[in-house]
Amino acid sequence: MPLLQLFTSAHPADEHKRAHLLKSLSALVARLLGKPEGYVMISLTARAEMSFAGSSAPACYAELKNVGTLSPGQVETLSRFLCQELSSGLGVPAERIYIEFTNADGAMWGWNGGTFG
């Protein structure tokens, strides 16, 4: 039910480092949201053409969608930890990372032939 989509213009790391980053992010999202990791999905699109502040230096845009309601405090914590992990794992400075947080209605989130509603 939590989905973290990542788009970055950074050159992708080798396969082992990418796999480690995805696994680390999955565990982090599950822990911070208090959700079973078995429902967490992480998607990475590397080498996206991006401009941030008029520069083509490496940047990252992330979307975290979650069934339920995130409080402002949770969003602040998620932003801090995700920026740290993304900066370290992708080599993108934290000031070049945007994260959009979305609360999703369980009835509008499909899985396994049904919904979470």
Residue-wise pLDDT for 17-26, tens only, equals 999 999 999 9
Residue-wise pLDDT for 21-55, tens only, equals 999 999 999 999 999 999 999 999 999 999 999 99
Give the pLDDT score at 11: 83
CATH of region 3-115, choose from 3.60.21.10, 3.30.429.10, 3.60.15.10, 3.40.50.920: 3.30.429.10
Closest by Cα among 49, 58, 63 to 90: 58
At CB < 8 A and 24+ separation, what contacts does 26-31 make? 28/81, 28/82, 28/85, 29/2, 29/4, 29/64, 29/78, 29/82, 30/2
